[in-house]
């Protein structure tokens, strides 16, 4: 069965290494929480708010073991007044036997305000 797993994290500064570290951390948390291995991943979509442009966050996945052949794409979030700033959002599409309610979405740092109903 194919499922999508969502997550988000914020960074303090628009710096390449901060973006890469945060993206790596978020993806690792999603993969670990959902017991996913890279070969189960169909694709990864990463979006950033317009204030994050120091690097492509997809580059962070190339630093993770097993992600060489995982298709990854980066896009910009639409600008919405008073929206959370410096935010990286991820949607990972995976092959899994988990039911929809068993999927664990991961929201970290200030991004916990996006889905307080899903935060542990």
Average pLDDT score over residue span 11-15? 98
Mean pLDDT across the stretch 80-87? Answer: 95
Q: Which residues are catalytic?
A: 6, 62, 74, 77, 89, 107, 115
Q: Is the pLDDT of residue 91 over 90?
A: yes
Given this model, what pLDDT does residue 49 score?
A: 98
Record: fold of 2-113: 60s Ribosomal Protein L30; Chain: A; (3.30.1330)
**What's the angle, vertex CA 34, arms to CA 53 and CA 112, rounded to 5?**
50
Task: Supply the mean pLDDT for the chain.
Answer: 96
Residue appearing with tokens 């317009």: 50
Distance CA 87, CA 100 (A): 25
List the strands of the sheet with 106-107, edge to edge: 72-76, 41-48, 87-95, 2-10, 106-107
Question: Which whole-number Å values give the CA distances from 76 to 80, 108, 120, in the listed order?
Answer: 12, 19, 27
Residue 116 binned pLDDT confidence (cut-offs 50, 70, 90):
confident
């Amino acid at each position: 069965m194919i499922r999508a797993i969502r997550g988000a994290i914020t960074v303090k500064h628009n710096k390449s290494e901060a973006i890469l570290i945060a993206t790596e951390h978020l993806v690792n948390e999603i993969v670990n929480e959902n017991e996913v291995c890279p070969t189960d991943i169909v694709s990864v979509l990463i979006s950033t708010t317009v204030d994050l442009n120091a690097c492509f966050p997809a580059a962070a996945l190339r630093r993770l073991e097993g992600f060489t052949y995982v298709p990854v794409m980066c896009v910009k979030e639409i600008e919405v007044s008073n929206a959370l700033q410096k935010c990286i959002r991820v949607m990972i599409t995976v092959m899994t036997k988990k039911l929809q309610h068993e999927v664990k979405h991961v929201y970290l740092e200030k991004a916990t305000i996006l889905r307080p109903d899903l935060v542990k």
